[in-house]
A and B are shown apart, each in its own frame.
Chain A
């Protein structure tokens, strides 16, 4: 069994010993206890099965990096256990231990050595590392002449040159230009296909949802949620918006997915419905069909302003489209308690076939981060089917106007060449 990771009841405390002498005495004399303990991780338990990709998300200071350091082995746990089967490689920081005066190649030797690789192994991997970095002649120039993007390319190439059983990555995925980002994503996917387990810390929703089949939300050093990436990211989103006296409910949606509803409750959603042009409720929508989204909000307390936003997400939870009345310049001001507000959003369903959901939010400003009255994921779920358009693939329907011109003479020439 390779690439298996089991974390049980893990805890990490930074200790205050009162004085350094006391600390030093504790190494040699058993039974000396620290004055104060500051727990940054507590009761963390989870398992990563071979070949699984798990994303760790959470706000700054939630304990993500500490968790990764514990699993990598640079720091030691104060409590609990970590069992790892197989070889671990970690990319906690790119460019570790690079010497600016050495060439890229010399630094690769050094960095790979630091990963515990032997001379032969590095020699074998070198052509691949050089090819993957794609920095041409610069590979034999001193690193101080590199741009930061080039340095990133080299470091990422070394760090992923040897396929481990468990790869740990901390926010290192968004390196370099778009081209290289795609390349690094592909490499990580390739590892995954070879059966390597993945543990990724990222704030990038798209990266987590694209790469991981599970996500774990850490909050104040504890596991807050462990489940499929979409649900966890929705919950995380709500957590960011969480303020004092806000309530958050997780409901089981009819589709079987978990639905997160959060907000302070000054304004609540009474109705969210997808209707056809005639005003009848819809569940199956044809590609290109004109639809309208009907939203009703009820105001329970006086609020200075109200913004309604909606977001259409695909099956994987990636946002396809979203906007709000702040961006369209339709903010409603000075609303008294007990009033109703109705929104009608009309648009053609220019999406590809598949299952989609709509999240709706009521808040006061451009984003829901500050004053969030209500945020409702999966407020409405629908299917897009294609029954009257030509076949196509993808998540967006872009009506094409294809022109085909055929020149009979040229065709004759080519076919003549072929026969000749």
Chain B
């Protein structure tokens, strides 16, 4: 564990330059260049904010703002997009970098760190876009915003732990790469992002609690929309789950690494 971190530190220059390259290569041959980095998330948010909220213009109880639903939606999307980007990228991480892993010696931990780094940058840009829209809608988040960094770290930990375990397994059983995107679709609709928990029948609400994303996404909505602290008791369990998955994935990475290179 300590060795892994030390190796990552030695490769810090490579990790940072890779993240930069990754962001840069997205728009390198486009006219608008770096503007796309902000235009893309902005477009995504605008679609959710205006189109979806005018179609489903339900008012949320206890909130006076007419655009409450749009804000609710965007809060959930912010958390979800961070989670899903990391999981989806980790899933094919080792397969995509197979040639590199076979031919060069470098700490494997660098790969997920690059993914995490670029996901954070993307998410922060989305967050900036969302804040801008919030401003337009006349909703300014309150002091509960201070809880957001904690929620982000937790989301990253859960996504990384889960994604790496799936990524390692995917090298050996490629079906996982096909199944996971489908499962992610289900997970999106099983998480109250587009709808609120109250809209589903009471007898199913307990089932919803099995979804580890529920406390996180609710936390995002709490801090961004309702301006209140997230539900710590529910989040405590998620912290434990995340730490477990993260530790398991690092162990797996170490144990499976020799086999993995031969299988790629």
Contacts and interface: CB of A to CB of B under 8 A. Distances in A.
B260 to A, nearest CB: 10
B256 interface: yes
A101 B11 contact: no
B104 A96 contact: yes
A93 B14 CA distance: 19
Contacts of A74: 101-105, 261
Main secondary structure of the interface of A (DSSP, over half): mixed
Nearest to B101: A74
Contacts of A110: 14, 17-18, 21
Contacts of A99: 21, 25
A93 B99 CA distance: 10
Contacts of A278: none
Contacts of B172: 20, 23-24
A93 B103 contact: yes
Contact of A97 (B29, B100, B105, B256): B100
A387 interface: no
B198 interface: no
A127 B256 CA distance: 40
A101 B30 CA distance: 12
A92 B262 contact: no
A32 to B, nearest CB: 12
A96 B25 contact: no
Contacts of B256: 24, 27
A79 B17 CA distance: 37
B102 A117 contact: no
A96 B255 contact: no
Contacts of B99: 93, 96
B103 A92 contact: yes
Interface in A108-153: 109-110, 113-119, 122
Contact of B21 (A27, A106, A117): A106
The size class of the interface chain A forms with chain B is: 20 to 34
B25 A75 contact: no
Give the bracket for the number of chain B residues in contact with chain A.
Answer: 20 to 34
Contacts of A23: 172, 259
A75 B255 contact: no
B103 A119 contact: no
A90 B106 CA distance: 12
Nearest to A97: B100
A27 B263 CA distance: 15
B96 to A, nearest CB: 12
A14 interface: yes
Interface string B1-24: 000000000110110011001001
B255 A114 contact: no
B13 A119 contact: yes
Nearest to B22: A99
B99 to A, nearest CB: 7
Contact of B104 (A97, A117, A119, A122): A97
B58 interface: no
Q: Which of A14, A75, A102 has the most chain B CB atoms inside 10 A of its CB?
A: A75
A74 B258 CA distance: 8
A182 interface: no
B112 to A, nearest CB: 16
14 contacts: A15-B259, A15-B262, A24-B172, A28-B255, A74-B104, A74-B261, A96-B104, A97-B104, A102-B21, A110-B21, A113-B11, A113-B17, A113-B18, A114-B106
Given A110-B21, A113-B13, 19 more contacts: A15-B259, A15-B262, A20-B172, A20-B173, A69-B103, A72-B105, A75-B258, A88-B105, A93-B99, A93-B103, A96-B99, A97-B100, A102-B21, A102-B25, A110-B14, A113-B14, A113-B18, A116-B106, A119-B13
